[in-house]
Structures are given as structure tokens and as C-alpha cells.
Amino acid sequence: MNTIKRILGIVWIALGLAAGYYLIVSQAIPQFSSGKSEDLVPAIIYTFILMPIITGGLCIFGWYALWGEYDGDV
């Protein structure tokens, strides 16, 4: 079971990086480059608020799983 947890740690890190890439490339950059002022606020929220929270949370969770922080007997 601990091996599965560590493998899934890599999956969580990859998922976090993919989510950050998606938010920047597919959501924020098109809104920044649209030139409309009403698209600027969601682009800033995607870039500076949501992306660090989502990417950081998933990557930290995966890092802990990868290094065995969840291996304890409960």
C-alpha cells in the first residue's frame, strides 16, 4: 500500500503542474491578450490567486506522499 501511495505522489505532482499549465495557457493568457477590460480581472485571479493555490496544494500533497509522510499506521 505504501508503494501505491508513493506512486500516486508522482501522479499528484504531475496533476498539479498540469493544472497550473492549463490555468495559465488556456485561461489566463487568452484573457490577458483579449484587450477587453472586463477580462483583465478574471485573468489576474487565475494567475495570481487560483494557480498558486491549486498547483501548490496538489504538488505539496504529492511531495508528502512521495516522501512517505502518509505511511504511518493509524
Total domains, the chain: 1
Domain-embedded: residue 10? yes
Tens-place pLDDT, residues 4-20? 999 999 999 999 999 99
Domain-embedded: residue 71? no
Give the domain extent around 7.
Answer: 2-66
Q: What is the DSSP track for the chain?
A: -HHHHHHHHHHHHHHHHHHHHHIIIIIIHHHHTT--GGGHHHHHHIIIIIHHHHHHHHHHHHHHHHTTTT-S--
Tens-place pLDDT, residues 33-50? 998 889 999 999 999 999
